Structure 1
C-alpha cells in the first residue's frame, strides 16, 4: 500500500497538516493574546498572516521532500521515521511551550533543536535527493527566522 508515491505524499501531507492544526490548537490564540502583543518583539517580525501562508507552503513542500526521501530509503526506515516523528513533536510542542505556557526559554530550546534537525535533514540527505533539497530549504530558512524571533523575545523581555 505505501509503495505508491501518491499514497506516501498524501500520508506525509496529512501528518504535516495535522501538526499545523494541533499546533494552532495548542497555542491557544497565542498571537492575539495580550501577553504576546505586549512583548518586545523583533523589528523583523512578520505580520501575523505571513505565518499561516509560510507554514502551509513549508508543510506542502516538506511533504514532497519526505516522499522523495522515503522513496530513497525503505519507507518505514526506523531512523527516517524516528527523525520525522521527533521533528513533528518539536514542531507541535513549541506552540504549547511558547504561546500557551509562556515558557519562552524552553521554546527557544525546542525551536533550536527543531532548527538543528531540519538542518540535518537538509544537509545529510543532499547527495541522495539532490535538487529535491530545494523543497526543504524554505523550512530551514523559516526556522532560522523563527528561531531568531524567539531568541529576540527571550533576550529583550
Structure 2
C-alpha cells in the first residue's frame, strides 16, 4: 500500500510538473492578466495548495482502489485518461490560448473524476471521500474556464 501510494504520488506530481512546464508564464502573462476573470477566482497561491492537496489525496485514493477493485485494467485505463486530460489542459489553455478547447478538456476531466467517485464507491465506501477535493476543485476550475470563455 505504501509503495503504491508513493508510485501514484510520483505519477500525479509528474502530471503537475509537465503541466507546469506548459503553463510557463501563463498566469503572470499579459494574455492571462488581460482576461476578464470570474469574481470567485481564488488568489494564485490557492492553486498550488489545492493541487498539492488534491494529488496527495488522489494518490492515496488510487492506492486503495488498486487494492480493492476487480478490474485493475479498467482502473488504470481511467487513471491514464485522467492523467492525460490533466496534463493537456495547461498547454491548451495557457500556451495555445484555446479557452473553448480548454473547457472541453476540463469538462471531460471533471466527468471522468466523477466516474471514479461513483463507479468505485461500492468498493471504497468512505475512502471515496479522498477523491472529493479533486472533483470539487474541478467544478470550480471548470466554472472559471467557462467564465473566461463567456466574458472574453
Partner of 1:39: 35
Residue aligned with 2:124, SS: helix
The alignment's C-alpha RMSD in Å is: 1.0
Q: CA deviation at 1:125?
A: 0.9
1:67 lines up with 2:63 in the alignment: yes
Partner of 1:48: 44
Q: TM-score, normalised by structure 1?
A: 0.95
Q: Cα deviation per residue 1:101-154 (whole Å; 9 max; x = unaligned)?
A: 000000000000000000000111111101111100000000000000000000
Runs of 4 or more consecutive aligned structure 1 residues displaced over 4 Å after TM superposition: none
Residue aligned with 2:40, SS: coil
Q: Structure 2 unaligned segments of length 5 or more: list them.
A: none
Q: TM-score, normalised by structure 2?
A: 0.98
Q: CA deviation at 1:84?
A: 0.2
Query: Is residue 69–residue 123 contact of structure 2 (8 Å, CA) maintained in 1?
Result: no
Q: Structure 1 unaligned segments of length 5 or more: list them.
A: none
Partner of 1:13: 9
Residue aligned with 2:27, SS: helix
Q: Cα deviation per residue 1:66-88 (whole Å; 9 max; x = unaligned)?
A: 000000135x8211111100000
Count of aligned pairs between the two proteins: 152
Query: Is residue 9–residue 55 contact of structure 2 (8 Å, CA) maintained in 1?
Result: yes
Q: Cα deviation per residue 1:46-71 (whole Å; 9 max; x = unaligned)?
A: 00110000000000000000000000
